[in-house]
Amino acid sequence: MAKIKLTKVPFKGTKEQAAELDAILAELVDVPGGLMPALQKAQKIYGYLPIEVQTRIADAFGVSVEEVFGISTFYSLFTLNPKGKNEVSVCLGTACYVKGAGDLVDGLVDKLGIKAGETTADGEFSLVETRCVGCCGLAPVVTINGDVYGKLVPEQLDEILAKYK
């Protein structure tokens, strides 16, 4: 079984988000199969499903947190970690991979202090490994918030990341 890595970023839900979630839970709690839509809507509110939100949903539906967590981790559409302000994506498609994308991932892991799929503790950066982004002629490619950086070597990463701090 794969080990699930939870975020180091503290949960920062607002009163407005809690009120919106409570309204959704009240609407869905008696609907057969309402747990899945509740999780989907909760993720839309918060951007992810922190354990605090999963616990609130479990309480509302009268099920265990383990059941909610099981659903949250089974379906790939759910995420347990918040996305950073800046999403750093490294293309691992064939062209990028053979031209050194793995070295870029290693460099970003080192510079950001996180692994792929994680977010920095300050919430500034998320690191994502992706498949082909359609820029094979620029391989290897990193995108940050949709900005494309191609023909990269790890030595260029500091300068690029500095633009987003």
Task: Give pLDDT tens digits for 57-108.
Answer: 999 999 999 999 999 999 978 988 888 999 999 999 999 999 999 999 999 9
Which residues lie below 8 Å from residue 2, measured CB to CB, with a gap of 6+? none
Choosing from 28, 46, 72, the residue where a domain stops is 72
Average pLDDT over residues 124-149: 95
Q: Is the pLDDT of residue 6 over 70?
A: no
Q: Indicate whether 60 and 94 sit together in one domain.
A: no
Residue 118 or residue 143, greater confidence: 143
Residue 23: which domain range?
A: 15-72
Least confident range of 26-30, 38-42, 74-78, 100-104: 74-78
Choosing from 6, 38, 72, the residue where a domain stops is 72
What stretches of the chain show up as alpha helix (H) in DSSP?
A: 15-28, 35-46, 51-61, 65-74, 94-98, 101-112, 157-162
Q: Is the pLDDT of residue 4 over 80?
A: no
Token pair listed for 74: 């089974």
Q: Is residue 2 situated within a structural domain?
A: no
Which strand ranges, in their side-by-side order, compose the sheet holding 142-144?
A: 125-130, 86-91, 142-144, 147-149
Cis? peptide before 82, omega within 30° of 0 = no
Separation between Cα atoms, residue 92 and residue 142, nearest integer Å: 10
Q: Is residue 49 situated within a structural domain?
A: yes
Least confident range of 1-10, 83-92, 132-141: 1-10
Q: Indicate whether 110 and 153 sit together in one domain.
A: yes
Q: Indicate whether 93 and 153 sit together in one domain.
A: yes
Q: Is the pLDDT of residue 24 over 60?
A: yes
Q: Indicate whether 90 and 153 sit together in one domain.
A: yes
